[in-house]
Amino acid sequence: MILFIPADNIGGKLLLKDYREEGTQEFVKYRSTYNNIPFIETEIFITDDKKDYVITSDNGTVMWRFSVEWIEKLK
């Protein structure tokens, strides 16, 4: 299953698939419709009083933020 999460008001999407847990860590494969980069697996982090997940860059900058409800659909 691939989830298409709205990323902006003009049709951009964040695509998520292949959720998995490894101990206390959570991972997902993601890509966006903004470029033609293939799916990349990354660790996701819970935030905002367990209401949202974030995908961060190597330096910790939040690149994507989305509701925990989206991940529930992948579990």
pLDDT digits (tens, 9 = 90+) for 3-60: 999 999 999 999 999 999 999 999 999 999 999 899 999 999 999 999 999 999 999 9
Which region holds residue 35: left if phi is over 0, alpha if psi is between -120 and 50, else beta? beta
The yes-or-no verdict on residue 69 having pLDDT over 90 is yes
- The CA distance from 69 to 53, in Å, is 9
Residue 11: its pLDDT value, please? 93
The yes-or-no verdict on residue 75 having pLDDT over 90 is no
| pTM value > 0.85 | yes
Residue 30: its pLDDT value, please? 97
- CA 64, distance to chain mean position in Å, is 7
